[in-house]
Chain A
Amino acid sequence: MRLRRSVAKWLVVLGVLHGIVVCAGFFAPYDPAEQDRKSPYLPPMRVHVVDEEGHFHARPFVYAFRLRQGTFDQYEEDAARSYPLRFFVRGARYRLLGILPSRLHLFGAEDLRIYLLGTDAYGRDQLSRLVFGGQVSLLAGLLGAGITLSLGLCIGAVAGYYGGWRDDVLMRVAELFLALPWLYLLFAVRAFLPLTVRPLAAFFLIVAVIGEVGWARPARLVRAVVLSAKERDFVRAARGFGAKDVYLLRWHILPETGSVLLTQAAILVPQYVLAEMTLSFLGLGVPEPVPSWGNLLSSLQQYSVLVSYWWMYLPTLAMVPFFLGYLGLASSLQERGPAYKIERRSLGSLT
C-alpha cells in the first residue's frame, strides 16, 4: 500500500508533535511536579538576543524577575544580570519513555530557573507541565479511540454481517447512544464512582468511560461497509465454496473497513483528548499533581486567575497543532477511498 503524499505529510507533522510529548523529559526543562514556592504565577520569561545597551548576543538569554515596588504579584525584569540559555544541559532526573534514566534536557540556564511559559500557583514550570500533561491527555485520547473503534468494529460487523434481529437491536441501541448527550453521560458515570481514586486508576477509568460512549458512530459506518462488502461476488463465491463466517469476516469483509476506521480514528482522537480535558478541567479526571491538559486549565476556574494571569490560558494553544494535525490527516485519508476497489455488479442483474 503506497502512502499518498498528503497523508504522509500529516503523519510527519503528527509524528514530530507526538515525539515531543513522548520524550517529554528531554524537552521539558524541569520536573513537572517540582515546586518553586517563592515565585508563584510568574509570567513567561522573554528570550532576548539584544541587551539593554543595544548589543546583539548570538546566544539568547533571559533576565530574572523581581517584584515591582509596592506590589505583591507584579513582576518586572531585572536587567542587572543576564542568564544565557544553555542547550543539552544536565538537570532533573527523568526516565525517557519510562525506561531510560537520563538527566539530559534540551535547554536550561545556570543559577536561574527559567520559565518560558510562566509558573502556576505553586511556582511549577508551566512549560514542563504542558509537555508532560500531553502524555496523559494524548494517551487518554488514543486509548479511548482504540476502545471505541474495537467496540464499533465488533458491533458493526455483527450487525452488518448477521443482519436480522441482531442488526435491529444493535442499531436501535446505537441510535440511543447517538442521541445521548455524552458529556452528561460521562458525568453520570463518573458520579457513580468513588470520589478519590489513585491517579493511575482515575486515568484508566476516564479512558474506559470516554472510550465506551462513542462506539455508535463507527459501528454504523462499519455496518454500512460490511453490508456492501458481504454482497460482493467474491464474498458470495467464497460462501458458495463453504467458507466459515469467521473466515469471511476476517479475510474478505473486515479488510474493507480499514479506511473507514482510520478516518474515524483521526477524528476521534482529538475529540477524546478534548473530552479528557473537559473532565480533568472539572476535576473529574486525573487528579493533581499529575499534569494533564485539562488539569492545567483547571486553575482558570478561579476568577482571580482568569483575569490576572493570561499565561494560564496558554495550554489551550498547545492542542491546536495536534488537532489540526489529526483533522488534516482525517481529511486526506478520506480522499483515499478504499484499499482496493472492486467493480460492484450484482449477480442477479446479469442473469
Chain B
Amino acid sequence: MASVLEVQELHVSYRDGEGEERAALAGVSFDLAPGEILGVLGESGSGKSTLATALVRLLAVNGQITRGAVLFEGKNLLRAAPEELREIRGGRISLIFQEPSLALHPTMRAGEQVYQVLAAHGTSGKSALREKTRQIFAMVFPEEAERIARSYPHELSGGQRQRVLIAQAVACGPSVILADEPTASLDPTTQMEILGVFRTLREKLGVAMIFITHNPALLAGFADRVLVLYGGRVVELGPAKVLGEPRHPYTKALFQCVPAGFGGNGNARKARLPAIAGESSVSALPLKGCAYEPRCAERMDVCREREPELLSVNEGHSVSCFKYEK
C-alpha cells in the first residue's frame, strides 16, 4: 500500500541562548500507511514533540529543519508555499498538542473553536458549517454535546478539553492526525477513554495517526507499529509485536521500567522498578558513535567508533544496533 506520509532523513536543530545549533532530530525516516496508527515512543528530550511539530513546520521560533523531506501524498511539505501549507494543516494533517488546557483559546466557546477550524478550510455557508460542527460534537461527545459546545474551556474537564481538541483535529476530515502526548496530562481512566475515542475515529474515518507518548503501556493493543526514538534518532521501528520482543538494548531497558500492573504478584509489585542508568539530555550525547552508548548495558567497542545504521532484523522490523550487524 502506498504510504500517506513519508519522512526521509529529517534533521532538526534548535538555536540555544548562545546562538549555537543543537541537533534535536538527526536523520529520522519512516513512513505511514493510510489508516495506520504509528506509536512513537521516547523519553524526555528524545525529539518526540520536535518530530510532531516539524512535520507540519510548526517548530518554535528557534527551531529549524536543516535537512530531509516530508512527503505528504507525494508532496514535499518542507517546500510547500505558506498558503498551501495552511490548507494542509488542519485540513489534511491535524496536530493535537499535548496540553489541552493550553491549546484551547481561553475566551472562546468550545463550539466556536471547532467552527473556526471548519471556517478556515470550508467554502460552504455559515449554517452548513454550524450543522457540521454539531455533527462533529455529537460524534466526539456521546452525551451533552450541546452543553459542551456552549462552554468555555475553563468550564470543562481535562478529558473534555482533549475531546474538543480531537473534534478540532478531525473536523475537516484529515488523512493524518499527529497526536503529541495527547493523554500525558490526563488521569489513567480518562487516558483509556481518549484512546477509545481515537480508536473509534480510526474505524469511522479511516484516519492515519502518529501517536506520540513516553508510556509503552499505552501503545499495547492500540498502535499498529511502534517507532522508538532516542537522542533524535530512530533506534527501533517495527510492528506492535516489538513491544513483546524488543531487540534494541534501549527498548529492552525501557520496557523493564514499566510497572507490571495489577496482574503481577505481590512481590513483584513491591520490588524496586529498574531505571536506565545515566541521563538522556541531548548535551550528554557522545560526539561520535551510538547515542545510547554511554548508558547501554551491552556496549561494545565499535559503539564508540561510529554510528549504527538501521538494520532490518525481521520483516518490517529494524533496529539500529551493532549487535545485529552480520
Q: Is A234's CB within 8 Å of the partner chain B? A: yes
Residues of B within 8 A of A (CB): 14, 44-50, 53, 56, 58, 60-61, 63, 86-91, 94-95, 97-99, 102-108, 116-117, 120-121, 165, 168-169, 171-172, 180-181
Residues on A with C-beta less than 8 A from B94 are: 240-241
B14 to A348, Cβ gap below 8 A? yes
B87 to A234, Cβ gap below 8 A? no
Q: Is A193's CB within 8 Å of the partner chain B? A: no
B90 to A242, Cβ gap below 8 A? yes
Closest chain-B Cβ to A124's Cβ sits at a distance in Å of 53
Closest chain-B Cβ to A242's Cβ sits at a distance in Å of 3
**Complex CA distance for A348 and B22, rounded to whole angstroms:** 13
A348 to B120, Cβ gap below 8 A? no
Contact partner of B58 among A163, A236, A252, A343, CB < 8 A? A236
Closest chain-B Cβ to A343's Cβ sits at a distance in Å of 7
Q: Is A31's CB within 8 Å of the partner chain B? A: no
A234 to B61, Cβ gap below 8 A? no
A351 to B86, Cβ gap below 8 A? no
Residues on A with C-beta less than 8 A from B53 are: 236, 347
**Complex CA distance for A240 and B177, rounded to whole angstroms:** 11
B60 to A343, Cβ gap below 8 A? no
Considering only CB atoms, which chain A residue lies closest to B61 in the complex?
A231
A-B contact pairs, 30 of them (CB 8 A): A163-B61, A231-B60, A231-B61, A236-B97, A237-B97, A240-B94, A241-B94, A241-B95, A241-B117, A241-B171, A242-B90, A242-B120, A242-B121, A243-B86, A243-B90, A243-B120, A252-B105, A255-B107, A342-B106, A345-B99, A345-B102, A347-B98, A347-B99, A348-B14, A348-B49, A348-B50, A350-B98, A351-B44, A351-B45, A351-B49
**Complex CA distance for A283 and B99, rounded to whole angstroms:** 61
Q: Is A346's CB within 8 Å of the partner chain B? A: yes
Considering only CB atoms, which chain A residue lies closest to B106 in the complex?
A340
User: Contacts A237-B165, A242-B120 known; A351 to B95 CB distance under 8 Å?
Assistant: no
Closest chain-B Cβ to A342's Cβ sits at a distance in Å of 6
Residues on B with C-beta less than 8 A from A231 are: 60-61
Considering only CB atoms, which chain B residue lies closest to A348 in the complex?
B60
**Complex CA distance for A347 and B45, rounded to whole angstroms:** 12
Residues on B with C-beta less than 8 A from A242 are: 86-91, 117, 120-121, 172
Considering only CB atoms, which chain B residue lies closest to A244 in the complex?
B120
Contact partner of B90 among A241, A255, A342, A348, CB < 8 A? A241
Considering only CB atoms, which chain B residue lies closest to A343 in the complex?
B102
**Complex CA distance for A332 and B117, rounded to whole angstroms:** 38
**Complex CA distance for A53 and B86, rounded to whole angstroms:** 88
Residues on A with C-beta less than 8 A from B108 are: 251
Q: How many A residues are at the interface, by size bracket?
A: 20 to 34
**Complex CA distance for A342 and B102, rounded to whole angstroms:** 7
Considering only CB atoms, which chain A residue lies closest to B121 in the complex?
A242
Interface centre among A340, A345, A350 (most CB of B within 10 A): A350
**Complex CA distance for A233 and B180, rounded to whole angstroms:** 13
**Complex CA distance for A97 and B92, rounded to whole angstroms:** 57
B95 to A237, Cβ gap below 8 A? yes
**Complex CA distance for A251 and B254, rounded to whole angstroms:** 43
Considering only CB atoms, which chain A residue lies closest to B114 in the complex?
A241
Residues on B with C-beta less than 8 A from A347 are: 49, 53, 60, 97-99, 180
Closest chain-A Cβ to B59's Cβ sits at a distance in Å of 8
A240 to B56, Cβ gap below 8 A? yes
B104 to A234, Cβ gap below 8 A? yes
Q: Is A16's CB within 8 Å of the partner chain B? A: no
**Complex CA distance for A100 and B172, rounded to whole angstroms:** 56
Closest chain-B Cβ to A224's Cβ sits at a distance in Å of 14
B47 to A351, Cβ gap below 8 A? yes
Q: Is A238's CB within 8 Å of the partner chain B? A: yes
Closest chain-A Cβ to B250's Cβ sits at a distance in Å of 17
Interface centre among B97, B103, B168 (most CB of A within 10 A): B103
A window 214-240: CB within 8 A of B: 231-234, 236-240
A237-B104, A241-B90 given; 15 more Cβ-contact pairs under 8 Å: A233-B99, A233-B103, A236-B53, A240-B95, A241-B89, A242-B120, A243-B116, A243-B117, A243-B120, A251-B105, A251-B116, A342-B102, A347-B180, A350-B49, A351-B45
Q: Is A247's CB within 8 Å of the partner chain B? A: yes
